[in-house]
Amino acid sequence: MQTVVISGGTSGIGLATADIFLKNGWNTVLIGRDTEKGMQVKQQLGETYSPTQVAFIQADISKSSEVEHAKQITLNKFKTVDAIINN
């Protein structure tokens, strides 16, 4: 299964993009700064699709250390990154 990472994936265009990828069977990692909102969106998408297909990682992508941390979490969970959407 392919994996996409979407920054700003918890609302607007990022969330709509996540929905499209999930509909097409991709694992989807949502990156955002608001943990509460991110976990809420992750739960909602997990109820619509498979909870094992969706992950939320709290990170500020303007900070390289947080990007590296998000990368490690993603690779530990899904083993690969096939696409990145910088939203």
26-50: per-residue pLDDT in tens? 999 999 999 999 999 999 999 999 9
3-state secondary structure of 55: strand
Q: State the CB neighbour count (10 A cutoff) for residue 12.
A: 10
Which ranges constitute the DSSP H helices of the chain? 12-23, 35-48, 64-78
Does this model's pTM top 0.75? yes
| Domain containing residue 53: CATH number | 3.40.50.720
For the chain, which ranges sit under pLDDT 50?
A: none
In angstroms, the CA 1 to CA 61 distance is: 25
Q: What is the average pLDDT value for the chain, to the nearest integer?
A: 97
Structural domain boundaries enclosing 67: 3-86
Q: Count of domains in the chain?
A: 1
Instruction: Quote the pLDDT of residue 26.
Output: 98
